[in-house]
Amino acid sequence: MFDIRRATRQDAEAAYAIRRAAIVHKCSPDYGDELAQAWADVPHTEGYTALVAEQFHLVWVDGCVVATGMIDLASGELGALFVLPEYMCRGIAQAMVAHLEQIALNAGLDEIHLDATLNAAAFYRRCGYAGDEQALYQSPFGLQLACVPMRKRLVR
């Protein structure tokens, strides 16, 4: 069993480590080893720590953080959904999406959106998100990543 909790500043290192491990493990087939590694190696900044504290939620299993997710209630964007490779395919990501969607509903949002990585688009479709067209995400660190912008209407 697992527990989902709000993140704090102290959780930023664990969240960053989960992000790195998930990118290296899952994204190379769609983005290539070099780009996936460059994305994983984006530096951990104070801005990332602040974002974790403001918008992240974490999945805990037996006292360890194993997954991250965030919801920006101002923009309606869901993101940063990463799961440690050894915990993938256990329903943790789906539980996190449902948790974040409920937070959005409770905040009065009618719709949320995200930019799915190429490897995650099918997962988000299974969660009820729509979107098929590829776009280009420009990271603040100069990386360009293909993505699939997706949306989901929330049902009250």
Q: Tell whether the model's pLDDT for residue 13 goes beyond 90.
A: yes
Bigger pLDDT: 137 vs 79: 79
- By residue range, what is the domain housing residue 8? 3-153
Give the global pTM. 0.94
CATH number at residue 55: 3.40.630.30
Reported as a single tens digit per residue, the pLDDT across 24-46 is 999 999 999 999 999 999 999 99
Total structural domains within the chain: 1
144-153 and 111-117 as β-strands: parallel, antiparallel, unpaired?
antiparallel
* Sequence-distant contacts of 81-90: CB under 8 A, at least 24 apart: 81/120, 82/15, 82/18, 82/19, 82/21, 82/22, 82/23, 83/18, 83/22, 83/59, 84/18, 84/21, 84/22, 85/21, 85/22, 85/25, 85/26, 87/59, 87/61, 88/25, 88/26
